[in-house]
Amino acid sequence: MNKHAGAVSELVDQLGRLPGVGRKSAERLAFHLLRVPEAEALALADAIRKVRKDVQYCSICFNLCESSRCAICSDDSRDATRLCVVEQPRDLMSLEQSQAFKGVYHVLLGRIAPLDGIGPDQLTIDSLIDRVRTGNFVEVIMATNPTVEGDGTSLYISNLLSEFPVQITRLARGITAGSVLEYANREMIADALTGRQKF
Instruction: List residues binding Zn ion (CB under 5 A).
Output: 58, 60-61, 63, 70, 73
For residue 108, which of 153, 168, 56, 161 has the smallest C-alpha distance?
153
Q: For the CB of residue 106, give the shortest distance to Zn ion in the complex, in Å.
A: 9
Angstrom distances, CA of residue 33 to CA of 12, 14, 41, 45, 108 = 11, 13, 6, 11, 35
Helical axes 23-35 vs 38-54, angle rounded to 10°: 120
Contact at 8 Å (CB) between 119 and 77? no
Please say which residue, 63 or 154, places its beta carbon nearer to Zn ion. 63
Do the beta carbons of residue 122 and residue 110 sit within 8 Å?
yes
**Shortest distance (Å) from residue 166 CB to Zn ion:** 19
In the bound complex, what is the minimum distance in angstroms from residue 102's beta carbon to Zn ion? 15
What's the min distance (Å) between Cβ of 194 and Zn ion?
Answer: 24
Measured from the CB atom, is 73 or 93 closer to Zn ion? Answer: 73
60 vs 142, beta carbon nearer Zn ion? 60
Complex with Zn ion: residue 63 or 94, whichever CB lies closer: 63
